[in-house]
Amino acid sequence: MKKIRRLIRFHGYVQGVGFRWRAMQAANAAGATGWVRNEEDGSVLMEIQGTEEQIDSVVQTIRKSIYIDIRNIKAVTIPVIENERSFEVKDSWWF
């Protein structure tokens, strides 16, 4: 199966509700790699790499999470990063 990488920005009630930790758990369970971080504008930015099915699984798991209320998702496909091995929670961009 072909690996892809997506840059995804989530808008809504997505900060202060465990979004990043839930994303990491879902990515690890699905076997996806990448990172997630909070943005100054209140959104959450994620780069995620895996198959289309793995990425869809992660997004659906986050969507179903209690307290998280995603109002809008913007996603673009970006180049795959070879040899990436894990998914991590990054510090917010302003730290």
Quick one: tokens of 83? 């040899």
Residues 74-85 as b or e (16 or more Cβ within 10 Å = b) = eeeeeeeeeebe
Candidate list 5, 20, 22, 37, residue with the active-site label: 20
Q: Is 72 a catalytic residue?
A: no
Candidate list 5, 6, 22, 38, residue with the active-site label: 38
Rounded CA-CA distance 62/17 in Å is 11
Q: Is 20 a catalytic residue?
A: yes
Pair 7, 75: CB distance under 8 Å: yes
Q: Which residues are catalytic?
A: 20, 38
